[in-house]
């Protein structure tokens, strides 16, 4: 088998526009597993959400979450993590507050924010009650930072004003030990330095002795670019951003046309 690992983004890739996994995709993934391929969810989402979808597919494979800031093994044990330095959290928040941009950040299973936005929670909580993500609303960020057990893996900033977002990103990029990306037209994401899906896929491949040329990576947004560049076969979704399509080795159909299933069928099952 030429390709031994398939790293698959979730939103806009594995999931269709209804936040569901199609039957054709489920069947293709199951057959690929039977053939011995590692099917790895690689998402920007909080770990709890990724675990839910992995369980529904009965994957029993490692999961990459929070844009590569955390990896768990097939038993959901953390095997790799790179949280944001706590000393940078207040600085990041102050920049967002100054620009009046909504933000939240998360650990393994919960969102934290200064304001509760039901629309955002509804998007992430479509599915089973087992996957419900809650949000802790705080007034004083210092109280959150003092929690020694808290790991902040990712910030997400949302604003429909592109200029405002770009201005925020320029400020964030000036902070040492912070990296930025995007997974949607109206957001910017911030992680620790050198955190990306590509670095996480590389780390995982090293651990399980798989070469880059034996990897397929499938995604649709800027935050998928690093793993598409790393993989032997980088695949862009038909609904993907132009930057992804330009760098991909192959362009599949959209997430509503079983694009992921068609890649697995063509390159793993044939």
CATH number of the domain residue 130 falls in: 3.30.1240.10
Maximum Cα–Cα distance for the chain, whole Å?
Answer: 56
Q: In the prediction, which pLDDT does 71 show?
A: 98
State the DSSP string of 231-258: SSEEEE-TTS-HHHHHH-SEE---TTTT
Do 93 and 150 share a structural domain? yes
Domain boundary pick from 147, 173, 189: 189
Banded model confidence at residue 88, pLDDT cuts 50, 70, 90: very high
Q: In the prediction, which pLDDT does 115 show?
A: 85
Do 181 and 160 share a structural domain? yes
Mean pLDDT of 130-159: 85
Do 104 and 184 share a structural domain? yes
Banded model confidence at residue 253, pLDDT cuts 50, 70, 90: very high
Banded model confidence at residue 129, pLDDT cuts 50, 70, 90: low
Domain boundary pick from 189, 211, 244: 189
Burial of residue 134, with CB atoms counted within 10 A of its CB: 0-12 exposed, 13-18 middle, 19 or more buried: exposed
Burial annotation 59-68 (CB, 10 A radius, 16+ → b, else e): bebbbbbbbb
Q: In the prediction, which pLDDT does 136 show?
A: 85
pLDDT single digits (tens) 13-65? 999 999 899 999 999 999 999 999 999 999 999 999 999 999 989 898 999 99
Do 72 and 10 share a structural domain? yes
Do 180 and 104 share a structural domain? yes
Active-site option among 9, 107, 159, 224: 9
Do 207 and 248 share a structural domain? yes
Mean pLDDT of 150-170: 94
Q: Which residues pair with 182 in a beta bridge?
A: none
Residue 249, domain CATH = 3.40.50.1000
Q: Is the pLDDT of residue 128 over 70?
A: no
Do 110 and 74 share a structural domain? no
Any catalytic annotation for residue 11?
no
Do 160 and 71 share a structural domain? no
Mean pLDDT of 217-225: 97
CB 37 within 8 A of CB 3: yes
Q: In the prediction, which pLDDT does 139 show?
A: 83
Average pLDDT, the chain: 93
Do 156 and 219 share a structural domain? no
Do 154 and 206 share a structural domain? no
SS3 at position 108? coil
Do 152 and 114 share a structural domain? yes
Q: In the prediction, which pLDDT does 22 show?
A: 96
Domain boundary pick from 137, 166, 189: 189
Segments forming the whole domain that contains residue 223 = 5-81+196-269
Q: In the prediction, which pLDDT does 182 show?
A: 92
Q: Is the pLDDT of residue 7 over 60?
A: yes
Q: How many residues does the chain have?
A: 270
Q: Is the pLDDT of residue 130 over 60?
A: no
What's the total number of domains in the chain? 2
Q: Is the pLDDT of residue 233 over 90?
A: yes
Do 98 and 21 share a structural domain? no
Q: Is the pLDDT of residue 127 over 70?
A: no
pLDDT single digits (tens) 182-219? 998 899 999 999 999 999 999 999 999 999 999 999 99
Banded model confidence at residue 138, pLDDT cuts 50, 70, 90: confident
């Amino acid at each position: 088998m030429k390709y031994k690992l398939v790293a698959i983004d979730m939103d806009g890739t594995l999931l269709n526009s209804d936040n569901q996994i199609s039957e054709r995709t489920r069947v293709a993934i199951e057959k690929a597993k039977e053939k011995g391929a590692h099917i790895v969810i690689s998402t920007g989402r909080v770990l709890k959400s990724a675990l839910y979808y992995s369980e529904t597919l009965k994957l029993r494979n490692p999961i990459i979450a929070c844009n590569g800031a955390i990896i768990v093994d097939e038993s959901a044990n953390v095997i790799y993590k790179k949280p944001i330095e706590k000393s940078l959290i207040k600085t990041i928040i102050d920049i967002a507050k100054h620009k009046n941009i909504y933000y939240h950040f998360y650990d393994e299973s919960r969102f934290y924010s200064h304001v509760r936005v039901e629309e955002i929670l509804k998007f992430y909580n479509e599915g089973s009650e087992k996957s419900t993500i809650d949000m802790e609303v705080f007034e004083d960020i210092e109280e959150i930072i003092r929690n020694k057990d808290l790991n902040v893996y990712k910030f997400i900033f949302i604003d429909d004003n592109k200029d405002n977002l770009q201005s925020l990103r320029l400020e964030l990029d000036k902070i040492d030990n912070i990296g930025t990306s995007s997974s949607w037209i109206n957001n910017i994401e911030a992680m620790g330095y050198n955190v990306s899906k590509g670095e996480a896929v590389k780390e995982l491949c090293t651990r399980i002795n798989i070469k880059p040329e034996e990897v397929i990576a499938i995604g649709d947004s800027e935050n998928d670019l690093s793993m598409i560049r790393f993989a032997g076969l980088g695949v862009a979704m038909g609904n993907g951003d132009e930057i992804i399509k330009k760098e991909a080795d192959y362009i599949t159909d959209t997430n509503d046309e079983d694009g992921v299933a068609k890649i697995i069928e063509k390159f793993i099952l044939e």
